[in-house]
Structure 1
Amino acid sequence: MSDQPEQGTPAPEPGAEQELRGVDLARRALEEARAAAKASGKSVGQGRASPRRNLRAGGRRRSGWSGARPDERDPQTLGRLTGSIAKNRGWSTKVAEGMVLGRWSSVVGDDIASHATPMTLKDGVLSIAAESTAWATQLRMLQAQILAKINAAVGQGVVTSVRISGPAAPSWRKGERHVKGRGPRDTYG
């Protein structure tokens, strides 16, 4: 074998470029890009720049990946999603009112919840029914602490005041017709 070209193919001239193909063409393009970047002061092919540096420099964050820190594109808990939906649609006050009635024992504590039941929440006034008159009296003394616990659990302004009532006494008014007076009394003597 000789370094002589075959008959019929012209010999390459010493200063002429050969036609590049495949990998050689890619290498050549990469070298040209590196040279152009070096001339402009940037580095090419040295790895991806940190998204944190780009954010400090005023660049936008890439939309294809979120990185190591929490992002709005990461999976969210169901509670956080429902909270954001309620906030966006204006249901926050209704959800907070439902939390007072639905999570009563976790809002005020097990001791109070075992002796008192929330009945209604209307216009910021929470009606509570106590199981006995003694507990109704005790809850009236604790009214400020109960209101503070509710506001801490569900937010300010959901419950503005508390109305506490004892157990309902039996009614002696039975039927359509009744006689005015003191009600039942001892008639045996």
Structure 2
Amino acid sequence: MARAALDAARARRAERGGDSRGATRRTVRRGDPGDGARRRRRSWSGAGSDDRDPQPLGRVASRLSAQRGWAPKLANGSVFGRWAELVGPEVAEHATPTALRDGELTVQADSTAWATQLRLLQRQLLAKIAAGLGNGVVTGMRIHGPSAPSWRRGPRHVSGRGPRDTYG
């Protein structure tokens, strides 16, 4: 039964102008407008560059991030990933970025001396970051020193001198 259906389909194809194998060969000339029903076969891209050529992964990823609007978020993430490269190894050894919100970068320093030094170098650091990532990614910096230990424990606290008044 399947053989009879196949033979019938081949016969109909041959009546319409196809060859015996069932494939039709249609040539479309370049510049021939046609009637719209005929479609132009895809050709090789040739010697020049074309969208169909294999693309480097970096170029495809950057095009995708630009189309989807991910570029600002990726730039924000690259501040954390490229911190040592952007500010230099000496500064990166003593300071780490902790947050980036609305263009303001929060940096935690190892010591109060380094926090003071970073506050003095803030303009130069902002210029280095802008040169590495582009303008507008980081517009300001908030620099914190090391946090002191807190004597507050638990949800309730009584104000006073703390543990110093219990030793006597």
Among 42, 46, 69, the residue aligned to 1:65 = 46
Q: For 1:126 and 1:72, locate their aligned partners in 2 and report how far apart those are by CA, in whole Å.
A: 41
CA deviation after TM superposition for structure 1 residue 75, in Å: 4.2
| CA RMSD of superposed structures (Å) | 2.2
**Where does structure 1 differ by over 4 angstroms across 4 or more consecutive aligned residues?**
72-75, 186-189
Alignment of 1:9-28 (within 5 A): none
Q: For residue 153 of structure 1, what is the aligned residue in structure 2?
A: 132
Matched, 1:162 2:141: yes
Identical pairs, percent = 58
**Unaligned 5+ runs, structure 2:** 1-42
Matched, 1:180 2:162: no
Q: For residue 71 of structure 2, what is the aligned residue in structure 1?
A: 92
Q: For 1:105 and 1:111, locate their aligned partners in 2 and report how far apart those are by CA, in whole Å.
A: 8
> How many residues are paired up?
125
Q: For 2:155 and 2:111, locate their aligned partners in 1 and report how far apart those are by CA, in whole Å.
A: 30
TM score, norm. by length of structure 1: 0.59
Larger Rg: 1
Q: For 2:137 and 2:131, locate their aligned partners in 1 and report how far apart those are by CA, in whole Å.
A: 10
TM score, norm. by length of structure 2: 0.66
Alignment of 1:26-175 (within 5 A): 64-67=45-48, 71-73=49-51, 75-175=54-154
Q: Which amino acid aligns with 1:135?
A: W
More contact order relative to length (CA 8 Å, sep ≥ 6): 2
**Unaligned 5+ runs, structure 1:** 1-61
Q: For 1:84 and 1:181, locate their aligned partners in 2 and report how far apart those are by CA, in whole Å.
A: 60
